[in-house]
Chain A
Amino acid sequence: MAIKLPVYMDYHATTPMDPRVLDAMLPYFTERFGNAASRSHRFGWEADEAVGVAREQVARLLNADRPEEIVFTSGATESDNLAIKGVAEFYRDRGNHIITTRIEHKAVLDTCKRLEKQGFEVTYLEVSKDGVVDPDDLRRAITDKTILASVMLANNEIGSVQPIAAIGAICKERGVLLHCDAVQGVGKVPFDVKAMGVDLASVTAHKMYGPKGVGALYVRRSKPRVRLTAQMDGGGHERGMRSGTLNVPSIVGFGRAAEIARLEGREESARVAKMRDRLRDKLFAELDDLFINGAWGDDARLPGNLNVSFAYVEGEGLMMAIKDVAVSSGSACTSASLEPSYVLRAVGVDEELAHTSIRFGLGRFNTDEEVDFVGDLVTQKVKKLRDLSPLYEMAKAGIDIKSIEWVAH
């Protein structure tokens, strides 16, 4: 089979929509266009019914008790904001302390930073070199002022999977609410709000082969019943937690995507992990001085994630050389700050190696042929760029690069 270029291996950024999802959505743009909040006619009823089905589908993927625990939002950033700010505001009388980790997504970290400016105290837990939080660190961080912990299910850069069940048990024991940003992990690694004791969970459709611009926040309704202060005022949709006319076609698509993830996720994860391992094996067979960032192991890492540092080759330079492959890099050469990835820094990858990292994100529509193509191309270009790298030449001549007094610029 001929490969279509460029090859997409950036599934952590977003995923293409599954054609089955698009099929489910299409009628809701045209003939079934009703407003789900219209109670007085068939158009509204149809839309409301469709939203109900989707709510059920998303609830089942998370193993929520009831569909009413799903609040539809515009995506995971909104879900994270609503969960953290909503809890902080509602439970302010009870305490002002929040616990999270250093490797959360910016939607969580920046939300916490804003709350700090408003008088909240936030503890940012360190992670191991595998990118995993130690539940005992979380236990030790809890004070009588702690109202919320926010820990992601799986990291978007290094794919490390957090021990959510253990964290959930501690939170339950200490009466602290647990929010989980489950965006990257849900449908790919085990996730179950009931079994894991999660009180709030953020998910988004476009990371699971659904449309962009729609997500959900799971909000537990019993044991304990979680209360939130709405962050958007208006018509009182979503039981008052999120006003705004529902994005019915996208919600329908999200539901279908969640259903596919629930039914096919396990099998798909095994297939994707196998391709990911094949890519790693190819690269490691051909190249020296490669370092995997994050944990390695079936349950420890997202099945589609391969984050590798190609020592002595700068990540952005490599991406340009492999422009037939869409990936991303922990090198921050494109950002104004020139600081490499904070996630890689948090897991102890030094700046020099962080600049050489590439994140391959594999998913549903990749093939073995693509993996072989990418493996060969990357190998060839890394060799070429190492021939161009003064650092590689110095390292091979036995010069310790760290012993040189570099002048930072």
Chain B
Amino acid sequence: MAYSEKVVEHAENPRNVGTLDAKDPNVGTGLVGAPACGDVMRLQIKVGDDGVIEDAKFKTFGCGSAIASSSLATEWLKGRTLDEAASIKNTDIVHELNLPPVKIHCSVLAEDAIKSAIDDFRAKQAARRASEG
């Protein structure tokens, strides 16, 4: 299968590869997919006190489209509020990367990873408020 130029570019030069401290209360971690399915994405966000995402990192086990989808997601996340981040749709990723139908699940996984990271961050904040309150 031929890949789009944008997929190749992201897969060869992935942005924001790395690991944030998952124990940091300002960090939200999303780990989605399954090794048996051939795709696992870990996407992390670090949120400032103003509710804006300051940093985003990812690591992905998967095909070039999965790597590119998560790389693109981290680029888009930085500088957004959580609500803005939560509004990113898999179809936005499909459109940007020109993913073929067989690769749409990669974009779905990236959307899931974003939502999962936001949920994790919000759950942590809620737990913190509860323990402080």
Contact = CB atoms under 8 A, between A and B. Distances in A.
A320 B60 contact: no
A393 B33 CA distance: 16
Interface of A: 312-317, 320-321, 331-334, 336, 338, 340, 350-352, 355, 387-393, 401, 406-409
Contacts of B41: 390
Contacts of A401: 35
Interface of B: 1, 3, 8, 11-12, 14, 17, 19, 31-42, 59-64, 66-67, 102, 105, 108-109, 112
B36 A316 contact: no
Given A314-B63, A390-B42, 20 more contacts: A313-B61, A314-B39, A315-B38, A316-B38, A316-B63, A320-B8, A320-B64, A333-B62, A333-B63, A389-B60, A389-B61, A391-B35, A401-B35, A406-B36, A407-B32, A407-B34, A409-B32, A409-B33, A409-B108, A409-B112
24 contacts: A314-B38, A314-B61, A314-B62, A314-B66, A315-B38, A317-B64, A320-B63, A321-B64, A333-B62, A334-B1, A338-B105, A350-B36, A355-B36, A388-B17, A389-B61, A390-B42, A392-B61, A406-B33, A406-B36, A406-B37, A406-B40, A407-B32, A407-B33, A409-B33
A338 B37 contact: yes
A334 B17 contact: no
Contact of B38 (A331, A387, A390, A393): A331
Given A317-B63, A320-B11, A320-B64, A393 B34 contact: no
Given A340-B38, A401-B35, A390 B61 contact: yes
Contacts of B63: 314, 316-317, 320, 331, 333
A391 B40 contact: yes
Contacts of A391: 35, 40, 61
Main secondary structure on A side of the interface with B: loop
A333 B109 contact: no
Contacts of B37: 338, 351, 355, 406, 408-409
B113 to A, nearest CB: 10
Contacts of A315: 38
Contacts, number: 95
Main secondary structure on B side of the interface with A: mixed
B59 to A, nearest CB: 4
Given A320-B3, A387-B17, A388-B17, A409 B61 contact: no
A368 to B, nearest CB: 28
A395 to B, nearest CB: 10
A207 B19 CA distance: 46
A317 B59 CA distance: 13
Contact of B35 (A321, A332, A334, A355): A355
Shortest 3 CB-CB contacts between residues of A and residues of B = A406-B34, A316-B63, A351-B36
A321 B63 CA distance: 10
Nearest to B17: A388
Nearest to A352: B35
A30 B36 CA distance: 54
A118 B128 CA distance: 66
A388 B59 contact: yes
Contacts of B64: 316-317, 320-321
A393 B61 CA distance: 11
Contacts of A316: 38, 63-64
